[in-house]
Amino acid sequence: MTETTTRTASDSGTEVTLPVHSDLLRLATAGSVDDGKSTLVGRLLHDTKSVLADQLDAVHRASADRGLATPDLSLLVDGLRAEREQGITIDVAYRYFATPKRTFVLADTPGHVQYTRNTVTGASTAQLAVLLVDARKGVIEQTRRHAAVLALLGVPQLVLAVNKIDMVGFDEAVYTRIAAEFTEHARALGYRDDTVVTIPVSALLGDNVVERSANTPWYSGPSLLEHLESVPVAPDPHDAPFRMPVQYVIRPRTAEYPDYRGYAGQVAAGVVAEGDEVVVLPAGLRTRVSKVDSPDGARPRAAAGHSVTLLLADDVDISRGDLIAAADAPPRVTDELDATVCWLAEKPLNPGAKVLVKHGTRTVQAIVTELAARFDEQQLSSVDSPDSLQLNEIGRVRLRTAEPLPIDDYAASRRTGSFLVIDPADGTTLAAGLIGVPLAPLAAASE
C-alpha cells in the first residue's frame, strides 16, 4: 500500500524518495538493563540513515570525549544528563524514522526493574515489541516479566532480539536454545507461533539489524528491519461496535451558528454513520446521529481513530464524560469493576484505598473493595487475597465507583476497556487498569 514519489532536491541535485502514503508501525523496545537496547535503537537509526550529520558529529565528539575508540551509538538516544553519565536509559524516548516501505514510531523503554512503569507506557500503544536478551545470559526473570506485561497489554506481535551474538562467537547452538526457551514462554502467555519472531543480532556491529549478516550463515530469517517493514499490522477493528466518549460540547452561539450543538470526540471503536441509532450512556437515552461533522465539513461516516463532532436528532442532555455507543450493541453499565491492574507507584495498593478512576473522558471516585489476587508472572500462577500490591506488581482487583461507567472488556476493546487509577491527593497516576483479566493463563491461575 506504499506509494513513493521521487523529487530532486533543489540545492544538491540528489534524488530523494519520499514516503507518500506509507503505513505506520508503532513499536516499543523492552529488555533488561545493559542488554543493549539503546545501542540497538541507535544502530537501527544509523543504518537506516535516519541520523543526520550534526547528530552523528555530536555522538563522535561525545564518544571521543569519553575516550572511546568507536562511536557509542547509544548516545544517539540517551538524551538525559543522568542517562549519559550512567550509561543507562531512565525514561521512555520516542523516535521517528521512515523507510520507503513504512513509517515507524518507536518507544525506547528502560530496562531497570524500578522503571517497569515505562515499559507499560511504551507498550500501551504498541503494535509490536522488540524484546532484547543478552546472548550470554539468555532468558532471565526480567525477560519473562516484560513478556507478561506485553501480553497483558495486548501487544499483538513480539520479536526477540538475541543480542551480543558476536560475544558468543556467533554460536548457533546458543541462539537456538534461547529462541526455543523464549518461544515456549510466549506460547504459554497465549502468543501464536506466527506472532513471535526470534533474530540473532549484534547491535554493536550491526549484524542482522538492517542487513543480513554473513556471520550467521545458519540463520535464514529476516533482518530486524526487514521484519519490521513487512510484519502485518492489524488496523483498528472496524467490525467492533461503535463507541465514542464525549470530550467536549461545541456550542458556538454565533450569528452564523446560533443553534449548533455538537458532541466532540475521537471514535474509540467501530464506525458511525449519519442515521445510525445510538445510545447515550450511562443515562441510557436513545437517539439518532443526524450529522457527522468534521472541520473539513460533514462526512457520511467516521471510523475508529477519527476526531469528529456528532450532531444528534433529539435534544438530549449530554456532557463531557458520557459515552455514545451503538444502540444495538451497547457496553455494559456498572459501578462494580472487575479488573487487572499494573501497579506503577512506589506507594502500595491496599484494600479499602480511595482512588480516582479515569475511564474514557470520565473521572470518578472509586474504592478498592477487594484485592482478589496477585499474579506471579514468572510462574504464571497467582496468590489469592494478598495484603497489598507493590510497585510493578500485577493483580486482580474489584473496584466500586461512585457513578456507573459504560465498560467493555479490555480483550474486546483496548480503548473502552482501559482506565487509569489516579491518586486523589496529588494526582499521581498509580496504575494501568484493564477491565477483566485479559491474559488467559493469569485468568486460569486466579480462578
Partner 1 sequence: MTTVELPIDRTDVPPQVDNLDALESEAIHIFREVAGEFDRPVILFSGGKDSTVLVHLARKAFWPAPVPFPLLHVDTGHNFPEVLAFRDELVERHDLRLVVASVQDYIDDGRLQERADGTRNPLQTTPLLDGISENRFDAVFGGGRRDEERARAKERIFSLRNAFGQWDPRRQRPELWNLYNGKHRPGEHVRVFPLSNWTELDIWRYIQREKIELPEIYYSHRREVFLRDGMWLTSGPWGGPRDGEVAATKTVRYRTVGDGSCTGAVESEAYTVDDVIAEVAASRLTERGATRADDRISEAAMEDRKREGYF
Ranges within 420-439 binding partner 1 (CB under 8 A): 420, 422, 426-429, 432
| Region 392-411 residues binding partner 1, contact defined as CB under 8 A | 409, 411
Phi/psi for 209 (5° steps) reads -90, -60
Residue selected from 3, 4, 21, 316 as contacting partner 1 according to rule CB under 8 A: 21
User: Of 87-95, 127-135, 194-202, 212-220, which segment contacts partner 1 by CB under 8 A?
Assistant: 87-95
Phi/psi for 364 (5° steps) reads -130, 160
- CB-based contact 161:354 (threshold 8 Å): no
User: Of 75-83, 164-172, 365-373, 375-383, which segment contacts partner 1 by CB under 8 A?
Assistant: 75-83
| Region 22-41 residues binding partner 1, contact defined as CB under 8 A | 22-24
Q: Does 254 bind partner 1 (CB under 8 A)?
A: yes
**What are the residues facing 397 on neighbouring strands?**
339, 371
For residue 175, give the DSSP letter. H
Q: Does 306 bind partner 1 (CB under 8 A)?
A: yes
Is residue 20 classed exposed, middle or buried when 0-12, 13-18 and 19+ CB atoms within 10 A define those classes? Answer: exposed
Q: Does 259 bind partner 1 (CB under 8 A)?
A: no
Nearer to partner 1, 136 or 251 (CB): 251
| Region 135-194 residues binding partner 1, contact defined as CB under 8 A | none
User: Of 128-136, 155-163, 382-390, 416-424, which segment contacts partner 1 by CB under 8 A?
Assistant: 416-424
What is Dmax (Cα atoms) for the chain? 76
Closest to 294 measured CA to CA, from 304, 302, 283, 286: 302
Phi/psi for 372 (5° steps) reads -80, -40
Number of residues in contact with partner 1, rule: CB under 8 A? 94
Q: Using CA atoms, how far apart are residues 144 and 147, in angstroms rounded to an integer?
A: 5
Nearer to partner 1, 103 or 369 (CB): 103
For the CB of residue 358, give the shortest distance to partner 1 in the complex, in Å.
6
Nearer to partner 1, 107 or 186 (CB): 107
Phi/psi for 43 (5° steps) reads -65, -40
Rounded to the nearest angstrom, the gap between the alpha carbon of residue 197 and the centroid of all alpha carbons in its chain is 18
**What are the residues facing 250 on neighbouring strands?**
262
Residue selected from 47, 91, 338, 376 as contacting partner 1 according to rule CB under 8 A: 91
| Region 49-68 residues binding partner 1, contact defined as CB under 8 A | 52-55, 58, 62
Q: Does 18 bind partner 1 (CB under 8 A)?
A: yes
For the CB of residue 252, give the shortest distance to partner 1 in the complex, in Å.
4
- CB-based contact 419:361 (threshold 8 Å): no
Q: Does 305 bind partner 1 (CB under 8 A)?
A: yes
Q: Using CA atoms, how far apart are residues 48 and 211, in angstroms rounded to an integer?
A: 10
Evaluate the CA torsion angle 188, 164, 36, 73 in order and state its sign.
negative
For the CB of residue 182, give the shortest distance to partner 1 in the complex, in Å.
25
Residue selected from 100, 235, 284, 352 as contacting partner 1 according to rule CB under 8 A: 235
- CB-based contact 418:409 (threshold 8 Å): no
For the CB of residue 433, give the shortest distance to partner 1 in the complex, in Å.
9
Residue selected from 35, 166, 207, 276 as contacting partner 1 according to rule CB under 8 A: 276
**What are the residues facing 325 on neighbouring strands?**
243, 279
Residue selected from 301, 347, 398, 400 as contacting partner 1 according to rule CB under 8 A: 301
Q: Using CA atoms, how far apart are residues 364 and 354, in angstroms rounded to an integer?
A: 11
Q: Does 77 bind partner 1 (CB under 8 A)?
A: yes
